[in-house]
Structure 1
Amino acid sequence: MDIPRQVVSFLSSRGLKLATAESCTAGFIASLISSVPGSGACLDVGFVTYSPEGKAGFLGVHEDTMKAHGLTSEPVAREMAEGALQQEACSADVAVSNTGVADAAPEGGPPAGTQCFAWAYRSRDGGIVTFSETKKFEGERNDVRRAAALYALSRVEHYFDQRSTR
């Protein structure tokens, strides 16, 4: 199953554009999409925000959210995805975000391989509907990053279909 190709086909067939807001995957999600011929029609913009300052400054993630929940958390992932869609120059209809730990976490932090995701969808009335998940992946650092990027893409259509139930 070629997940990036399926996502490009799905987005293109509906005239949708994607934005990415990535921390742990560091642009891997956008890179996978851009590897598919014709992806230029559906990839709008990608943000890589590793630091708390980058998350706050470029995506509008609230410092209170990061302090209360930690950088590897669904609330941070949600604010990252929603923040990407709210950027003035962003014309995307869908945003996917990722934040997590690929290898050894700081003491007291989440276990290695923990990844938090969010998928935000802009509705016709300008509102945003957001979904989030946390998963744990096994393997070396880059194995975790690749698995997380593929997983993030694999859920784009699933949550698009779930929007009407919210």
Structure 2
Amino acid sequence: MELLEKVSEYLQKHELKMATAESCTAGLIVSELARVPGSGQSIDCGLAVYSPEAKNRYLAVSFETIDNHGLTSEATVREMALGALNNNDANVALANTGIAGPEPHDGIPVGTVCFAWAFRHNQQIFLTTETRRFSGDRNQVRLAAAHYALEMVPQQHGDVLAGNAPRVDES
């Protein structure tokens, strides 16, 4: 709970309002954050978007991106984060897509998760992506991925504030 409290305090201190676009975690990021009393003032929405059609419909992820790069890719998660940031009342968006298990998919090992953190700051958008691999069963992977996404918010936002994060037009 300490991690969740720290992230909630950070969001409140920096007046950040979060939207999530979650595939493999299916809403667990926003659900975990919501365990902290008072965290609701920092949450705009959480979207669970599994299918390619849902990613396209709710987040404007292009089918061309999915076809060319796959559902579990940094290109896809990038578009998910931008869609979540641009379609909601948020200034930070967390997105993920991956293989929680029980079986690998398209040659991608179980536990592979692609993340994106997008921030709106000073009328510009900054976005970072990363791919990580977690061990454990399906629900262990999902929880580890949700906590990692939240744990990285202060660092990612700090990079934005320090001018070290890539702007969307540069990435």
TM-score band, normalised by the shorter chain? over 0.9
The one-letter amino acid paired with 1:162 is: D
In the TM superposition, what is the alpha-carbon distance from 1:153 to its structure 2 partner? 0.4
The one-letter amino acid paired with 2:112 is: T
Give the superposed CA RMSD.
1.0
Tell me the equivalent position of 2:169: none
Provide the C-alpha distance between the structure 2 equivalents of 1:113 and 1:40, rounded to a whole number of angstroms: 29
The one-letter amino acid paired with 1:122 is: R
Provide the C-alpha distance between the structure 2 equivalents of 1:6 and 1:69, rounded to a whole number of angstroms: 35
Secondary structure in 2 matching 1:96? strand
Q: TM-score, normalised by structure 2?
A: 0.92
The one-letter amino acid paired with 1:105 is: P
Tell me the equivalent position of 1:135: 132
Identity of aligned residues (%): 48
Matched, 1:155 2:152: yes
Tell me the equivalent position of 1:53: 53
Tell me the equivalent position of 1:27: 27
In the TM superposition, what is the alpha-carbon distance from 1:109 to its structure 2 partner? 2.7
Provide the C-alpha distance between the structure 1 equivalents of 2:24 and 2:107, rounded to a whole number of angstroms: 15
Summarize deviations over 1:31-79 as a string: whole Å, max 9, x none: 0110000011101111110000000000010111111110001111111
* Structure 2, unaligned runs of 5 or more: 167-171
Matched, 1:144 2:135: no
Provide the C-alpha distance between the structure 1 equivalents of 2:150 and 2:110, rounded to a whole number of angstroms: 21
Provide the C-alpha distance between the structure 2 equivalents of 1:3 and 1:118, rounded to a whole number of angstroms: 19
Provide the C-alpha distance between the structure 1 equivalents of 2:70 and 2:104, rounded to a whole number of angstroms: 12
Provide the C-alpha distance between the structure 2 equivalents of 1:93 and 1:109, rounded to a whole number of angstroms: 35
Provide the C-alpha distance between the structure 2 equivalents of 1:59 and 1:3, rounded to a whole number of angstroms: 28
Match of 2:112 among 103, 109, 114: 114
The one-letter amino acid paired with 2:22 is: E
Provide the C-alpha distance between the structure 2 equivalents of 1:158 and 1:74, rounded to a whole number of angstroms: 19
In the TM superposition, what is the alpha-carbon distance from 1:124 to its structure 2 partner? 2.1
In the TM superposition, what is the alpha-carbon distance from 1:4 to its structure 2 partner? 1.3
Q: How many residues align?
A: 162
Provide the C-alpha distance between the structure 1 equivalents of 2:104 and 2:109, rounded to a whole number of angstroms: 6
Matched, 1:82 2:92: no
Secondary structure in 2 matching 1:12? helix
Provide the C-alpha distance between the structure 1 equivalents of 2:3 and 2:79, rounded to a whole number of angstroms: 25
In the TM superposition, what is the alpha-carbon distance from 1:3 to its structure 2 partner? 1.6
Q: TM-score, normalised by structure 1?
A: 0.94
